[in-house]
Amino acid sequence: MTDIGGDDQLRADLARLVRQLTREEPAQRGTPLLEVLDEHLGTRADELPVVVEKVDVHRWVDTDIALAEIAGRDADARLVGVGGGDQRHHSSLGDLIANAEWGRFRQGQVDRLNVPTGPDDERATVAFGLHLFRYDGRQVVVLQRGHNPQFHGEARLEVIVQDPEVGAALLAEVRDLAVSRSVLRGQVISFAGNPYEPSMGAITFVRRPDLPADRVILPEGTLTQVRGHVVELAVHRDELRRRGQHLKRGILLYGPPGTGKTHTVRHLVGAGPDTTVVLLSGTQMAYVAQAAQIARAHQPAIVVLEDVDLIAEDRDHGHFGGGASPLLFTLLDAMDGLDQDADVVFLLTTNRAEALERALSQRPGRVDLAVEIPLPDVSARRQLIGLYAAEVGFSDEAIAAAAEASAGTTASYSKELVRRAVLRAAIAERSPSDEDLAAASDELQADGAVLTRSLLGSGPG
């Protein structure tokens, strides 16, 4: 006689074992995935091909925005998650469907990932979820999968649709819409990954500086000339294009360290509130090709390369012969690669123009304006000290005396001079006075402060 109770217990034990092996939730939780897909597509999902499109990490938010907008056109669109443990992260959409036939994967919660969209904003993107909607008259399934370092997974879209041409058209529109809706447009970004700043992949969002022209102390006419080439030219871009004139331009700011090249760049970046700006310096120079691509796609744009003479000397990027470094040629190639009517500025700074002159002269037209930012003269030094001491209250006579005593010094020197005077008074627990400025000047001009003056960028007096 059959032991019916024993058979039931055996089946229950086997079911429990299967769930443990697959780390699956109990069967009653969530509709089987294959049922969801078959019902939406109106045919067997496992008989249709899957088209895969990889997505760069820094374009993930743009893709999320584009896909949400496209799917949102269908009033009956749904976004569903996939349950089934960590194994889903290792499985392609085809694998998910194949395993779903055996009850392995079920409808579950949508995975979300907060990603910065600017210095102060972020978006909860779909990190793992299925979009079910109608596109161009066809039922479509799109698996949106974000970059997941934990599972060595790359960001991508996986599309199922009966008509391959519809799938191709969908992905093409996602790409185009991602560019036009891009969160990078009009932002200031760098390629310096920083855990303390809002970052998206290798890209960090930087707050746009607010530095008015009256805080940039340069020889008369210099700032006007530079602004004209960067800011004013952009204002008249339509007229220039109409008359067949090029917009792509390169500017080189050169001069000794500490004279105000970076300060000038900060002003120019702040003067274009709708301009996309990519900042590169040091090891970030290796991203110059990517920076040019971002600039091309998000015009008007500025690509800033600070201390570009460093890459002219670099021999550590696979270069075994003589001549200029390959990274410098990558920069020149990136400048060549843009259309003439591209509203993109390459803004270069260097402490040693001679390190670049030969390479730039061999490719004429890449840099069409070179502007020297020299050591400040006595008038400029008075303005600089007055600028940094605006909230201190030194007399005009004391400022003039300090400026006269600081021949050959830089803006960095003037800033440090005022700081030392204020600190001297703070230590003595009193308000700063002219005597503090004079004492700080004597301290920095002493014979024992030669190295300090040099580190502050001072040239020959």
Residue 131's pLDDT is 96
Rounded CA-CA distance 105/99 in Å is 7
* Model pTM score: 0.81
Pair 217, 260: CB distance under 8 Å? yes
| CATH number of the 378-455 domain | 1.10.8.60
CA distance 304 to 281: 8
Q: Are 41 and 34 in contact (CB under 8 A)?
A: no
- For 420, the token pair is 């030392």
| C-alpha span between 107 and 84 (Å, rounded) | 9
- Report d(CA 195, CA 75) in Å as an integer: 39
Distance (Å, rounded) from C-alpha 381 to C-alpha 367? 30
Total H helices, total E strands in the chain? 18, 15
pLDDT for position 161:
94
Domain 189-372 CATH class label: alpha beta
**Inter-residue contact 121 to 136 (CB < 8 Å):** no
Task: Indicate the Cα dihedral angle 81, 86, 90, 91, nearest 10°.
Answer: -40
Distance linking the first and last C-alpha atoms of the chain: 112
* C-alpha triplet 29, 31, 37: angle, nearest 5°: 155
Q: Which two tokens stand for residue 289?
A: 């090709």
247 close to 238: Cβ distance less than 8 angstroms = no
Secondary structure (DSSP) of 197-229 = S-EETTEEEEPPP---GGG---STTHHHHHHII
DSSP 31-86: -BHHHHHHHHHTS-GGGS--EEEE--GGGHHHHHHHHHHHHTTSTT-EEEEEES-G
Average pLDDT taken over every residue of the chain: 84
pLDDT at 283: 78
- 10 Å Cβ neighbour count for 266? 18
Sheet with 249-254, strands from edge to edge, namely 199-200, 203-206, 188-190, 276-281, 301-306, 344-350, 249-254, 369-372
* Structure-token pair, residue 19: 């769930």
Segment (H or E) for 170: helix 164-180
Residues (pLDDT < 50) of the chain are: 1-2, 19-28, 315-324
Question: According to the model, what pLDDT value does residue 28 have?
Answer: 39
pLDDT at 23: 40
Would you kindly state where each structural domain of the chain is located, as residue ranges? 23-177, 189-372, 378-455
pLDDT digits (tens, 9 = 90+) for 257-290: 888 899 999 999 999 889 999 999 877 888 888 8
Please give the Cα distance from 260 to 245 (Å, whole number): 31
360: its two tokens: 């730039």
Task: Express each pLDDT in 25-83 by its tens digit.
Answer: 344 356 888 888 999 999 998 899 999 999 988 899 999 999 999 999 999 999 998 88
The residues, any chain, with a CB within 8 Å of residue 379's CB and separated by 6 or more, are none
293, 182 contact by CB (below 8 A) = no
* pLDDT tens digits for range 161-180: 999 999 999 999 999 999 99
What distance in Å separates the CA atoms of residue 264 and residue 227, rounded to the nearest whole number?
Answer: 10
- By the 8 A CB rule, do 197 and 288 touch? no
**Parallel, antiparallel or unpaired: strands 301-306 and 199-200:** unpaired
